């Protein structure tokens, strides 16, 4: 083999090695090539460290019974106004009972681009799963669409919650004017959630 050919072989092998190293580096745990997907916002303690309204903590006993809280109501001022519950949410969640969470901190993330639920869940990782009780706590802070951690514009708030059978679903919460609108859909569905929507994690 001529000296020139040897240099060519060495150069090719070096390039291949460098490419393999770069590929290995991109696969390291904790490295997220899609890190531009979500933008964090201010975290929300729930219940707040110093709640101004005892009603916020009144429903926090040993158990959280979803059917006692998630009901369509023409709520009086101060109660959580729920204008609509989707059929899937009724079927999968209203009969669920959870162990109550004493206090937690929820982290909202804005979608910088449209994404399916499966992609959002993969990005959030282990902390992406929340509970109905945690969602309810946020609703009690904004019972009639007041400003707060939950968006009240025309884009949804997304929570990833296990149903009564232990299956993880997307629960979407939207302020609709007369009250909150709450639905549920499969994590592996084809529906893309719009840029600007907000996903919550612990």
**pLDDT band (50, 70, 90) for residue 186:** very high
Look up the domain containing 21 and give its range.
1-31
Digit-coded pLDDT (tens) for 87-96? 999 999 999 9
Digit-coded pLDDT (tens) for 109-168? 999 999 999 999 999 999 999 999 999 999 999 999 999 999 999 899 999 999 999 999
Q: What is residue 35's predicted lDDT score, i.e. its pLDDT?
A: 57
Give yes or no: residues 86 and 7 share one domain. Answer: no
How do beta strands 157-162 and 129-130 pair? parallel
Give yes or no: residues 11 and 61 share one domain. Answer: no
Give yes or no: residues 67 and 133 share one domain. Answer: yes
If you average pLDDT over residues 52-71, what whole number do you get? Answer: 73
Give yes or no: residues 61 and 127 share one domain. Answer: yes
Give yes or no: residues 100 and 166 share one domain. Answer: yes
Give yes or no: residues 74 and 89 share one domain. Answer: yes
> Domain tally for the chain?
2
Digit-coded pLDDT (tens) for 34-59? 458 999 999 999 988 755 555 444 44
Using a 10 angstrom Cβ sphere, with 0-12 exposed, 13-18 middle and 19 or more buried, the burial of residue 86 is middle
d(CA 169, CA 173): 13
pLDDT at 20 over 70: no
Give yes or no: residues 23 and 80 share one domain. Answer: no
Q: What is residue 18's predicted lDDT score, i.e. its pLDDT?
A: 43
HSE-CB for 142 with a 13 A CA cutoff: 20
Q: How far is CA 90 from CA 70, 130, 151, in A?
A: 9, 18, 22
Q: What is residue 91's predicted lDDT score, i.e. its pLDDT?
A: 98
Beta-ladder partners of 172:
158, 183
Give yes or no: residues 42 and 27 share one domain. Answer: no
Q: Which two tokens stand for residue 91?
A: 């079927």
Give yes or no: residues 117 and 159 share one domain. Answer: yes
How do beta strands 104-111 and 44-46 pair? antiparallel
Give yes or no: residues 23 and 45 share one domain. Answer: no
Q: Kindly report the pTM of this predicted structure.
A: 0.78
Give yes or no: residues 23 and 89 share one domain. Answer: no
Give yes or no: residues 17 and 111 share one domain. Answer: no
């Amino acid at each position: 083999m001529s000296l020139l050919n040897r240099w060519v072989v060495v150069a090719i092998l070096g390039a291949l090695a460098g490419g393999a190293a770069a590929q290995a580096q991109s696969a390291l745990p904790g490295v997220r090539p899609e890190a531009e997907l979500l933008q964090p916002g201010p975290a929300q303690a729930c219940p707040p460290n110093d709640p101004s309204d005892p009603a916020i903590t009144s429903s926090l006993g040993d158990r959280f019974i979803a059917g006692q809280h998630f009901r369509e109501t023409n709520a009086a001022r101060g109660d959580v106004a729920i204008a609509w519950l989707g059929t899937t949410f009724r079927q999968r969640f209203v009969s669920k009972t959870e162990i109550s969470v004493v206090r937690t901190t929820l982290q909202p993330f804005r979608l910088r681009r449209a994404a399916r639920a499966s992609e959002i869940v993969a990005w959030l990782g282990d902390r992406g799963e929340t509970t109905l009780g945690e969602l309810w706590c946020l609703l009690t802070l904004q019972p009639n669409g007041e400003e707060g951690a939950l968006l009240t514009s025309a884009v949804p708030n997304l929570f990833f919650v296990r149903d009564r059978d232990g299956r993880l679903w997307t629960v979407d919460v939207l302020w609709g004017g007369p009250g909150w609108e709450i639905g549920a859909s499969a994590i592996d569905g084809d529906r893309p959630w719009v840029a600007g929507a907000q996903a919550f994690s612990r």
